[in-house]
Structures are given as structure tokens and as C-alpha cells.
Amino acid sequence: MKPRIAIFSLTGCEGCSLAILELEDQLLDLLGAVEIVNFREGMTEKDWNIDIGFVDGAVSTSEDEKEVRHFRDKCRILVAIGSCAALGGINTLKHYQGAAGEAEPPVAGNGDVAEYRRYVYGERAEWFPTTKARPISDVVKVDYALPGCPMVKEEFLSFVTSLLAGRTFTLPDFAVCVECKKRGNLCLYEKGIICLGPVTRAGCNAICPTFGSKCEGCRGIVSKEAVAAAGVNLREQYNVSLKDVLDDFRLFGAWQEADLP
């Protein structure tokens, strides 16, 4: 029997689910190997007998929390796809939101829920429930995580292939810079631009610096050892402190800030 797959969405733009539909030709091969039984973006039928469940989006409402517990109950293997589900992602920026008009949040990283609801929804704040945004692993056990905003389609395919073949799947534990250098890009630090490539987990083939934008860290931080090594290089080569680099990490990495050196 083919493994039964489901794709779910919580709070996010659902871009990671859409990335699966964008696989086009490879999607047909994938459909030959698995059976998709529950996927709001792509079908109306729903079945809850699930081998592998993929979830995009962060837990950012009490409804999300209920849903992700339900997904966990129904899926033998649960996989977080994308930065929102794997790391909390850009949703966690709201924790830094102060009252409307304030330049600085009242308490860094612990913005008041009532304040950020009022800031976004104004007089209708009560209509829109919201809680602190979290990666799904903060609520349920997650078996695997494929970070990225959106997740990397090729990594998704490689993950599914490994799982079907019974092979172990691991994310790269080296920095985006390795891929960037392999592509022959001129380092953005040479132009005085702070790029998060030295401290960010590889796997995206350095797509942002290749097209002229700095890495924003959407795949999350590498191991502490790799961060420490990057700190030494940055200081020696570009006279940039690790702190200056990590201060820029909040767009996707607010939830990981507690783990930063």
C-alpha cells in the first residue's frame, strides 16, 4: 500500500503547501509513490488515516493549537514544513510589536497580546483571536522539520524519497556561505553589507545572495560551534562582530533568539 500523506496549514501564507503543487512534473512521480488523502489547497475529500502529515504555518491562535494536536493524533509521522512551522518564522515578529505609534516595543520579545491585536486590527481587535506565535514543536512532538520561507522544494522531494526508501534524512549542518562560495558569488561583506549566510543553515543553494540580496536567515541558525567559527572569520576578515550579525536575525529567528550566543 502507498503511504498516505496529508498537508495541513496553520497561521502563515500557505506558500509552503503551494510549493508542493508547484513541483509539476515531479509531483506526478510523487503521486505515483504516495497517496495524498488530505490537502485543503489541492482537494476537497478528507481522510484522517494518515502516515505522514506535513504542516505549514505557526501556532498563533488557540484554534491552531487544537488543530496541531489533532494532526499529531492522526499522523504517524509529523513534519514541520517552512520557517513558520519549523521556527515560528515571521509570525514571531509580533512579540516585538509595541503600542501603535511607539518606536520601541514595551518589553522586547514579550509584546503585549492586547497591544498587538489593537495595532493590527484597531477597533475590531476582539474579532480576531491571537496568541503568542510558536513553532509547532512547542506544542506537539515533531519528527522532522524542513525550514525555509518557503521550504526548498528539492529538499522536500529528497526528504520524501529518503523516507520512502527507509534512509535517514538530515538537514545540512553547515552555513549558506559554503553554497554561496561554490556558486562563485562575490561576498556581500565585500560591499559592506551584513549578510546572515555565515550563521544560517544551508540547503537553499544560497539563492538570495546569488540574486544580489543578503541572506535573511530563513532556514534558521547553524550549530553553536559553526556560529562561533563564523564569528572568528567575520572579525578577522571583515572586522564585523558576531553581535552585529546576530542582531539582524529577528525576521525569521525571533523564537531562536534565546539560543543565540
Q: Which residues bind ligand SF4 (CB under 6 A)?
A: 12-16, 56-57, 82-84, 89-90, 148-150, 176-177, 180-181, 185, 187-189, 195, 197-198, 200, 204, 206-209, 215-219
Q: Least distance from C-beta 199 to ligand SF4, angstroms?
A: 9
Q: Least distance from C-beta 192 to ligand SF4, angstroms?
A: 12
Give me the residue whose beta carbon is nearest to ligand SF4.
Answer: 197
The answer to whether 118 touches 111, Cβ cutoff 8 Å, is no
Give φ, ψ of 84 to 5 degrees.
Answer: -60, -50
Q: Least distance from C-beta 216 to ligand SF4, angstroms?
A: 4
Give φ, ψ of 166 to 5 degrees.
Answer: 75, 20
Q: Cell numbers 481522510 label which residue?
A: 47
| Peptide bond just before 150 cis, omega within 30 deg | yes
Q: Least distance from C-beta 166 to ligand SF4, angstroms?
A: 28
Q: Which is nearer to ligand SF4, 161 or 205 (CB)?
A: 205
Q: Which is nearer to ligand SF4, 169 or 174 (CB)?
A: 174
Query: Minimal CA–CA distance to 52: which of 29, 32, 80, 78?
Result: 78
Query: Minimal CA–CA distance to 83: which of 155, 135, 39?
Result: 135
Q: Which is nearer to ligand SF4, 105 or 198 (CB)?
A: 198
Q: Which is nearer to ligand SF4, 93 or 99 (CB)?
A: 93
In angstroms, how far is CA 198 from the centroid of its own chain? 18
